[in-house]
Structure 1
Amino acid sequence: MGLCFSKGGSDRSDSDQRVEFVGGNVQPVTSKEDWDQKLSEAKRDGKIVVANFSATWCGPCRILAPFYCELSVKHSSLMFLLVDVDELAEFSSSWDIKATPTLFFLKDGQQIDKLVGANKPALQKKINAILDSLK
């Protein structure tokens, strides 16, 4: 299970890294207001939110990103969000992020599950369990 703990060494010069993180139906969160708006939208539409707190410099995050994008296309009944822990450091701190990637599963704005690390089978299992609970 891949984890990144370092908060330093962010290399922002490679802007095309962003493309591999945001694809499919993954929506980037750009501010606290944007987060609140997306959560309100999910609540209104009855969608579970999968929020991926990650960083472009994090190797495991990069490995997970294409799979996360695939899941977002495959499971359009869920809302997939991406929070860059460097761009929204203060907001990420409020979620007590200790390692990246950390994924939160939210229903009506409340945490119902959490996954720390780039564990694709565990992520798939949690999503399947959530989808089964909605049936």
Structure 2
Amino acid sequence: MGSNLFNIDASLESSSNIITFDSTAKWNAHFKALEETHNLMVVYFTAKWCRPCKLMDPTIQDFAAKYTNVEFIKIDVDKLMPVSRAFEVQALPSFILIKRGKVVDKVVGVKKEELQRMIEKHAK
């Protein structure tokens, strides 16, 4: 993936492979661009006030470093409410696993082992 894509559509979280979005339009453009790829995308729905989310942050950073063929995206539900609604996020943290533009799995809550199993299952 070219670095120019990050400059246009998103920003990398400091010292990690996690992409964050600050606008619904940028998310939609990125999502559409990745619809045709075979790579797994893990969308992490979170919020600054969410304590369970803070527990998952280090795990997601570890997973992003470990599973380099998987794209990790972090979405703040307060900033991108339309995206949260589109994926029917009702609890935090929520992890939506997407492949070829389709939701293939979902993990809700602080479930590190379950999330890791789902990533390994769909990353192939």
TM range (shorter): 0.7 to 0.9
3-state SS of paired residue (2:92): coil
SS in 2 for 1:34: helix
Matched, 1:56 2:12: no
* 1:62 CA drift (Å): 0.3
Q: TM-score, normalised by structure 2?
A: 0.81
Q: Report deviation, 1:44.
A: 4.7
Specify which of 89, 97, 106 is matched with residue 89 of structure 2: 97
* Sequence identity (%): 27
Greater length-normalized contact order (CA 8 Å, ≥ 6 residues apart):
1
How many residue pairs were aligned?
111
Change (3 A) 1:111 1:45: closer
Q: 1:36 aligns with which of 28, 32, 35?
A: 28
Alpha-carbon displacement from aligned partner over 1:6-31 (angstroms, at most 9, x marks no partner): xxxxxxxxxxxxxxxx4510000222
Does residue 75 (structure 1) correspond to residue 67 (structure 2)? The answer is: yes
CA distance, structure 1, for counterparts of residue 60 and residue 69 of structure 2: 14
Q: Which has the larger radius of gyration?
A: 1
Quote the RMSD (CA, aligned, Å). Answer: 1.5
Structure-to-structure mapping, 1:12-23, within 5 angstroms:
22-23=13-14
1:96–1:43 distance in 2 versus 1, CA, 3 Å: closer
1:46 matches 2:15: no
2:107 is the alignment partner of 1:115: yes
Deviation larger for 64-73 or 91-100: 91-100
SS class of match (1:92): helix
TM-score, with normalisation over the residues of structure 1? 0.75
